Structure 1
Amino acid sequence: MSTDSHTSRPVVRPLIERFGFPHLLATTLVLVAATILLGVAAKATGSGLACEANWPQCDAGPFNLLPANLPSFYEWFHRFVAMFAGFAIIGTAIAAVRFPNIDKRVAALVVAGMILTPIQVVLGRETVTKYTMDILALHFWTAVLIFVLFVVATVLVWAPRLTATHVIGALALGAVSLPFHVALSPLVIGDITDYSASMQMAQYGVTLALLAAVIVATMVGRRRFERDRLTALLSGTAVLALLVVFLGRRAVMTFNPVLDDLYVGAAALLFVAFVVGIRLVQTASSESVDALSP
């Protein structure tokens, strides 16, 4: 039997080479967002202590690995998706470190997300075994931090393909998201109907969209434009968005009238900043086109 003296190439190319790192990163971001929203659903339905407070097991099937009822299913499915998100985070971090053409800033961001992942897993376990409001808050904000890290990394990877149109679109998304963020909060929706699990998931979905929109607008805007007033405004929207998300979360948890007023005021100011930002980007884009015209 003859042998080939040349080194044979693998028949199946590695997944990362076929799929592409930017798409792997974007998929991981989607999984992180899904994990957060499913965690909100588990909390909102009171399912966080389902599975008979077992972790990582549940309350049915072989070795108690499966859910026994609907509340347990919510918690079990949250853990199930979180597991895939964790694997995706680790895989993305390994790829970012091993591939030589990946921006070092991107690698640092996803590695930071990977380091936070086991901390998040431990906090998830503590929400089941102890369940205190402080642990619940840390679990939530750690998840949001991981989400933000991966949004920033994703924007860095895709930034060369993003234009002023994307900045305007991101600002418009932020402007549309804000009224829904306020309307879906207990401050408003509580006067109409219950702050149900579906309402909570919708509001936190809007929260993630708002954060992503601000990050895209700020990072791409600062990359595309050199106007001090515009870049300062975009940076200001990022600070205001974090304040709105924080105050919105505190208003939900504490029902403090002072925090409610601050939340509404910050949201109104951020909405104005979005509208002004859209106008400034449009003006800057028009001037750039005029400057390039013969």
Structure 2
Amino acid sequence: MASASSDTGGGGLVSFHQLAVATTALTFVLLLLGIYTAVAGAGLTCAGRWPFCDGWLGLFPANWPSFIEWFHRLVAMVVGFMVFGLTVSAWRRGRSKAVRWATTGALALLPTQIILGALTVTQYEIVILTAHFVFAVLIFSLLVTATALTFDTALETPQRWGALAAFALVPVVAVATPFVLISGSVPVHIGYYAVGLLAFAALLSLGLWSMDESASRRTPATAFGAAALLAGLLLQGRLVIAPSAQAELALAGGLIGGLALAAAWWALRDAAGGLVPALSRSS
């Protein structure tokens, strides 16, 4: 994309590209920490004393569950400062309009996300937990957008890399979906979200890198695949799965994984010559 040409490089100790990668990566880690915190119900240990917790002076954790909540808050604070710094850097360094507004959007969503985070501790209801996750994914998506645009000229053929990453990750998402081939558990749950979010980021990046290309079918294919993955992630967001619902959940998860895989294959088939040229060129 021609508009991304001004988004590489940078001055100072850390380039904008490096800051974007670091911010997006830490946001990804924060998402997984938040999912683990929700599944473990760790926020409930601090519910009665929010914004403090149950340790010494309410500032330090007293046990493992409160440490999870405390550490999640610490990482969230660091991410917030990094998003703020990334946004300021985008405007001061004259990055492209798309990058500036992507970082600004992520920063604008932070106050609402903080409020929702507080509500997950004090109320812990599925509607609030879902809204908290949705806003987290929106922030992550905007940061992936900004980062992908800085990668566009850093990679020789970014479309191929994005398509190959999506095609490799999406099958793992289908296999790792709880109750499809393996029983649900906390490690499986976290692993499913980790691979699913990475596959979503790959499809989103591929769609962005393909917007100015003549192969118009790649962008809607990646959008469809990313939407299917998000639907699966939201479906798995239910904290309590009744045994009677496991079969339906497995069917839905397998169907969603298959749709995302078909979209990734369609995008890869159209990505500058397909899989075989991509593999030979990258080797």
- The TM-score normalised by the length of structure 1 is 0.81
Shift in Å, 1:109: 1.1
CA contact under 8 A between 1:163 and 1:220: conserved in structure 2?
no
Does residue 1:209 correspond to 2:167, yes or no?
A: no
Partner of 2:145: 152
Query: Cα distance 1:22–1:37, how it changes in 2: closer, same or farther (>3 A)?
Result: same
For the pair shown, the structure with the greater C-alpha radius of gyration is 1
CA contact under 8 A between 2:170 and 2:199: conserved in structure 1?
yes
Q: How does 1:144-183 map to 2 (within 5 A)?
A: 144-164=137-157, 166-183=158-175
Partner of 2:133: 140
For these two proteins, the number of residue pairs brought into alignment is: 263
Alignment match of 1:31 (pick from 26, 35, 52): 26
Alignment match of 1:95 (pick from 85, 89, 95): 89
Q: How does 1:108-127 map to 2 (within 5 A)?
A: 108-127=101-120
The one-letter amino acid of 2:82's match is: A
Alignment match of 2:36 (pick from 41, 53, 67): 41
Structure 1 spans left out of the alignment, 5+ residues: 1-14, 288-294
Whole-angstrom CA distance in 2 between matches of 1:274 and 1:32: 24
SS in 2 for 1:50: helix
- Which deviations, in whole Å up to 9, do the C-alpha atoms of 1:59-80 show, x marking residues without a partner? 112x210110111111111111
Shift in Å, 1:91: 1.4
Structure 2 spans left out of the alignment, 5+ residues: 1-9, 278-283
Whole-angstrom CA distance in 1 between matches of 2:76 and 2:11: 21
Partner of 1:11: none
CA contact under 8 A between 1:237 and 1:273: conserved in structure 2?
yes
SS in 2 for 1:187: coil
Shift in Å, 1:252: 4.9
- Which deviations, in whole Å up to 9, do the C-alpha atoms of 1:89-115 show, x marking residues without a partner? 11111222233x211221111111111
Does residue 1:270 correspond to 2:264, yes or no?
A: no
CA contact under 8 A between 1:244 and 1:263: conserved in structure 2?
no
- Which deviations, in whole Å up to 9, do the C-alpha atoms of 1:135-164 show, x marking residues without a partner? 100000000000000100111222122333
Query: Cα distance 1:64–1:17, how it changes in 2: closer, same or farther (>3 A)?
Result: same
- The TM-score normalised by the length of structure 2 is 0.84
Higher RCO structure (Cα 8 Å, ≥6 apart): 2
Query: Cα distance 1:201–1:241, how it changes in 2: closer, same or farther (>3 A)?
Result: same
Partner of 2:75: 81
Q: CA RMSD in A?
A: 2.5
Shift in Å, 1:222: 3.1
Percentage of pairs with the same residue: 30
Q: How does 1:211-230 map to 2 (within 5 A)?
A: 211-223=200-212, 225-227=213-215
SS in 2 for 1:181: helix
CA contact under 8 A between 1:57 and 1:64: conserved in structure 2?
yes
- Deviating more after overlay: 85-94 vs 137-146: 85-94
